[in-house]
């Protein structure tokens, strides 16, 4: 018969075999605080875990709401990383930009993994609370819109739904008029001696960026050169981001197909047909098309 396992902590004790082990009493965590705990002061968990106001009695709605809230938090982190990267590029600090983009890639993986609880919803399950959502739709997510703006997918009309929320509207308006992350990348490539066309560098940054053959040629040049060069590594970090955003869009599309087929969306769009069009677009398009010329 084997010896009973020693407890990892606790005082000396008697086993059923009469063997006593002397153990060290480890320091236990502090229990007494004057006000709220330092954890609460930092994490605001009390606020965060009381924001789940479901709109129906269906027990399946809770995970729909929390998944949406979790995704909003990831959007917030990703926007922070991309804004950090854009700022770093503006001051020619490519290592800081690459580090932020790499962090964002791991965060996008976590974001995409959070589709799991909703990925297999059946129409009957979704119908159990869908009508309670009224006209509410992720299309109205301001933080998602900031992500799209940073990728170059600008559109002034996307500010309209947020007229009633001054802080959100102001943040979106600022983001609309700032160069996108991709604009900053192309400006950096120009400063590094690449022939980025003037039309690209001087464009109105509040408009949607369209693919440009001159930018494709620049990426083909970068990818034909030293793969260890900063610009090549920047290109790969951006490609990782582009792929993961494309995956989010496609996972969303498939979850929507499963949950509601071809019905119109709660936000008023054609639903799946509209999402299919959005999901077909490549993020940083020239980074993909340039590969045919390397
Ligand atoms: C399975 C559950 C879901 C279904 C059936 C669904 C359905 C739809 C549909 C039909 C649209 C098109 C706009 C509309 O008419 O509403 C849309 C847009 C959108 N949804 Fe969802 N959605 C789901 C879950 C989520 C979740 C959890 C999020 C996380 C925040 C989300 C975020 C978005 C965003 C950001 C858009 C706008 C996309 C764009 O502008 O390209 N959706 N959704």
CA 254 from centre of chain: 18
37: left (phi over 0), alpha (psi -120 to 50) or beta: beta
Using an 8 Å Cβ cutoff, are 78 and 111 in contact? yes
Give per-residue pLDDT as tens, 201-212.
999 999 999 999
Q: Which two tokens stand for residue 226?
A: 């030293």
Residue 14 is inside which H or E element, if any?
Answer: strand 13-14
286 CA from centroid of ligand 1 (Å) = 27
- Is 266 assigned a ligand-binding role in the annotation? yes
Give per-residue pLDDT as tens, 146-180.
999 999 999 999 999 999 999 999 999 999 999 99
Distance CA 269, CA 253 (A): 13
Predicted confidence at residue 175, as pLDDT, reads: 98
The percent of residues in the chain predicted with pLDDT above 90, rounded, is 91
Q: What is the pLDDT of the chain when averaged over all its residues?
A: 93
Ligand 1: lining residues by beta carbon, under 6 Å: 67-68, 71-72, 118, 121, 137-139, 141, 144, 252, 255-256, 259-260, 265-269, 271, 274-275, 278
Model confidence at 8, in pLDDT bands (50, 70, 90)?
A: very low
Q: Domain 63-293 classified CATH 1.20.58.480?
A: yes
**Which of helix, strand or coil describes residue 155?**
coil
Q: 13 pairs with which residues across the strands?
A: 21
Model confidence at 22, in pLDDT bands (50, 70, 90)?
A: low
Give per-residue pLDDT as tens, 35-62.
999 999 999 999 999 999 999 999 999 9
Model confidence at 3, in pLDDT bands (50, 70, 90)?
A: very low
Q: 168 pairs with which residues across the strands?
A: none
Predicted confidence at residue 26, as pLDDT, reads: 86
Predicted confidence at residue 23, as pLDDT, reads: 61
Q: How many residues does the chain have?
A: 294
Counting from 1 in the atom list of ligand 1, the atom nearest the Cα of 67 is 27
Predicted confidence at residue 29, as pLDDT, reads: 94
The percent of residues in the chain predicted with pLDDT above 70, rounded, is 92
Using an 8 Å Cβ cutoff, are 216 and 289 in contact? yes
Give per-residue pLDDT as tens, 228-266.
999 999 999 999 999 999 999 999 999 999 999 999 999
Q: Which two tokens stand for residue 45?
A: 């968990």
Residue whose Cα lies nearest atom 32 of ligand 1: it is 138
Residue whose Cα lies nearest atom 40 of ligand 1: it is 139
- Is 130 assigned a ligand-binding role in the annotation? yes
Report the pLDDT averaged over residues 136-147: 97
Q: Which two tokens stand for residue 225?
A: 């050169």
**In testing the pocket of ligand 1, which one of 133, 134, 137 has its CB within 8 Å of the most ligand atoms?**
137
């Amino acid at each position: 018969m084997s010896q009973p396992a020693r407890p990892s902590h606790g005082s000396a004790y008697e086993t059923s075999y009469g063997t006593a082990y002397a153990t060290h009493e480890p320091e236990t965590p502090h229990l007494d605080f004057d006000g709220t705990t330092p954890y609460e002061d930092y994490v605001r968990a009390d606020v965060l875990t009381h924001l789940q106001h479901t709109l129906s009695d269906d027990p399946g709605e809770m995970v729909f709401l929390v998944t949406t809230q979790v995704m909003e938090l990831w959007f917030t982190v990703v926007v922070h990383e991309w804004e950090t990267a854009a700022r770093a590029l503006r001051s020619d600090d490519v290592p800081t930009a690459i580090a932020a983009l790499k962090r964002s890639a791991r965060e996008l993986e976590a974001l995409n993994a959070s589709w799991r609880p909703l990925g297999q919803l059946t129409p009957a399950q979704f119908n159990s609370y869908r009508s309670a959502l009224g006209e509410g739709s992720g299309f109205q997510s301001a933080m998602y819109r900031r992500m799209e703006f940073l990728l170059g997918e600008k559109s002034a009309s996307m500010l309209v739904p947020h007229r009633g929320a001054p802080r959100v509207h102001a943040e979106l308006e600022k983001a609309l008029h700032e160069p996108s992350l991709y604009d900053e990348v192309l400006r950096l490539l120009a400063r590094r001696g690449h022939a980025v066309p003037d039309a690209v560098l001087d464009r109105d940054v509040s408009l949607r960026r369209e693919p440009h053959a001159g930018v494709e040629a620049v990426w083909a040049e970068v990818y034909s050169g030293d793969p260890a060069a900063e610009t090549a590594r920047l290109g790969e970090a951006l490609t990782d981001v582009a792929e993961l955003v494309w995956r989010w869009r496609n996972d969303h599309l498939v979850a929507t197909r499963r949950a509601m087929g071809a019905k119109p969306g709660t936000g008023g769009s054609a639903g799946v047909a509209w999402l299919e069009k959005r999901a077909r677009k490549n993020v940083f398009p020239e980074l993909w098309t340039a590969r045919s010329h390397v």
